[in-house]
């Protein structure tokens, strides 16, 4: 199972939220490049970089930090947050992102998102499927929809998507364990999906539990910053 630490950015700083609520913002480090280097030094190969300012603004904002991280490390970075146009997408790729995640656009402008899949291919375009009570949420999780999560993922799988980051918003930042049964159900529905579990991971035991269900990859955020999972433990797991 691939381990993917997350760096969420507001004002160019490394922060974490609880359940996607911007009012719960906690700054962990004012230098995301320093954090990225620390991950790389401990054997990490991947990074999930989220532009929370961009998610709220509806366009890419923290692209300078993206460029700084990809210039300073060899991490494979997937970038999300505020990518609503092909121009935003090109900025992310030009700044060194190897993959981008689209969530809100996949709901609000499916034609544009489908054109990305066709143009850039399923290796570079990730579907962001973030849900609360199994309904998709968008715009930095501020806006809830009536779109059913499973139907949403299945629809884009049929359009060519193979990589999905699925966040159970009710668990994100709460350190109460991931939505193991949800991910197991999704993989039973689509066994060839490269599913990235996100939200709630609080211990190394959670990682083994996800691995036992065949989950291909997991994003870890607050558990690292709150020292619930140490970088030494991640190195040993890897």
The answer to whether 130 is a known catalytic residue is yes
Placement of tokens 């950015």 in the chain: 9
What does the alpha-carbon distance between residue 99 and residue 79 come to, in Å, rounded to a whole number? 6
Count of beta carbons in the 10 Å neighbourhood of residue 39: 23
190: tokens are 């689509």
- The one-digit pLDDT tens for each residue of the chain (238 residues) are 999 999 999 999 999 888 778 889 999 999 999 999 999 999 999 999 999 999 889 899 999 999 999 999 999 999 999 899 999 999 999 999 999 999 889 999 999 999 999 999 999 999 999 888 888 987 655 667 789 999 999 999 999 999 999 988 877 666 778 999 999 999 999 999 999 999 889 999 999 999 999 999 999 999 999 999 999 999 899 8
- Residue in the structure block whose two tokens are 């899949």: 117
SS3 153: helix
Distance CA 235, CA 95 (A): 28
**CA neighbor of 178 nearest in space, from 127, 212, 155:** 212
| pTM as predicted | 0.91
CB 72 within 8 A of CB 37: yes
The answer to whether residues 77 and 67 touch, using CB atoms and an 8 Å cutoff, is no
- Among residues 8, 51, 78, 168, which one is catalytic? 8
Q: What angle do CA 157, 130, 94 make, to 5 degrees?
A: 75
Catalytic residue among 51, 53, 88, 130: 130
Active site residue 94: no
């Amino acid at each position: 199972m691939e381990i993917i630490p997350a760096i969420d950015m507001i004002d160019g700083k490394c922060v974490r939220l609880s359940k996607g609520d911007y009012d719960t913002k906690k700054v962990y480090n004012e230098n995301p490049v320093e954090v990225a280097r620390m991950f790389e030094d401990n054997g990490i190969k991947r990074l999930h970089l989220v532009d929370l300012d961009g998610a709220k603004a509806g366009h890419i904002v923290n692209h300078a930090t993206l460029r700084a991280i990809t210039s300073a490390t060899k991490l494979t970075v997937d970038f999300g947050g505020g990518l609503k146009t092909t121009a935003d997408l090109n900025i992310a790729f030009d700044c060194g992102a190897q993959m981008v995640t689209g969530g809100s656009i996949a709901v609000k402008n499916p034609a544009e998102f489908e054109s990305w899949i066709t143009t850039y291919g399923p290796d570079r375009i990730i579907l962001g499927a973030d849900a609360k009570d199994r309904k998709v949420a968008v715009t930095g999780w501020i806006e809830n929809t009536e779109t059913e999560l499973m139907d949403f993922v299945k629809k884009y799988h049929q359009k060519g998507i193979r990589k999905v980051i699925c966040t159970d918003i009710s668990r994100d930042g709460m350190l109460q364990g991931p939505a193991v049964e949800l991910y197991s159900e999704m993989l039973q529905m689509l066994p060839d999906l490269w599913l990235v579990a996100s939200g709630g991971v609080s211990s190394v035991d959670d990682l083994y539990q996800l691995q036992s269900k065949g989950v291909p990859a997991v994003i870890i955020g607050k558990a690292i910053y709150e020292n619930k999972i140490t970088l030494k433990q991640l190195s040993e797991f890897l």
